[in-house]
Amino acid sequence: MTLLGGSPRMVQPAPRRLPMVSATDPGRRERKGTTMPLVSCPACGKQVSDAAPACPHCGHTAGRAGGGSGGRRGLPVWGKILLFLLLGLSVVGFAVVTKPSEAALRQAIRDKGKELNARGVRSPLDLIDDPQYAERFTYHNHFLSSEIQFTTDNGKVISVASGSLGSASVLDRW
């Protein structure tokens, strides 16, 4: 309060002016001396520039539905890595679950032997059910595939049937 000419007079402080805030959107350009569009702060209701990262009055993040996540959208990096790992594990799990079992491979060998016999071709595939040769057919379970091998009289090991992803292939001759 000051006295000028004997009468008490209140000195009003000059209105506060907010500093000019440049646009944060790279596609948006701001000319010097122009004002930014104003929006109401959802927390305190006062007018705030739409380019301001937070309300200068109450500190509430303005215009961001994500609670001030910095304007980034989508999954965070750890979420993408987790999603990638889960997808990879499901693909590998599917491959492991669908590989043929020993019974499926033996049946594929029997079917191929019957097919060759129907064409008049005598094949070693008929030996799979012969008790004399039963110990020579061995089943090998690998991580993503499986196979049946046959050991010949001279000790040579031949892969007779192999399978992965639910399919089995059998050699015609060996």
Q: How much is the pLDDT for 87?
A: 95
pTM flag (> 0.85): no
Q: How much is the pLDDT for 162?
A: 92
Q: pLDDT 10s digit of each residue in the chain, 174 long?
A: 455 555 556 666 665 665 554 445 454 555 566 667 888 888 888 888 888 888 888 988 855 444 444 556 788 999 999 999 999 999 988 888 888 889 999 999 889 888 888 888 877 788 888 888 888 999 998 888 999 999 988 999 999 999 988 888 888 766
Q: How much is the pLDDT for 20?
A: 52
Q: Nearest 5°: phi and psi at 149?
A: -115, 150
Q: How much is the pLDDT for 64?
A: 46
**What six digits make up the tokens of 5?**
């000419």
Alpha-carbon torsion, ordered 91, 97, 102, 107, to 10 deg: -90
Pairing relation of β-strands 7-9 and 2-4?
antiparallel
- State the DSSP code for 25: S
Cα 58 from chain centre: 39
Q: How much is the pLDDT for 28?
A: 54
- Provide the residue ranges of all domains of the chain, joining segments of one domain with +: 102-170
Which residues on adjacent β-strands are paired with residue 55?
Answer: none
User: CA-CA distance, 140 to 146, in Å (whole number)?
Assistant: 6
Q: How much is the pLDDT for 67?
A: 45
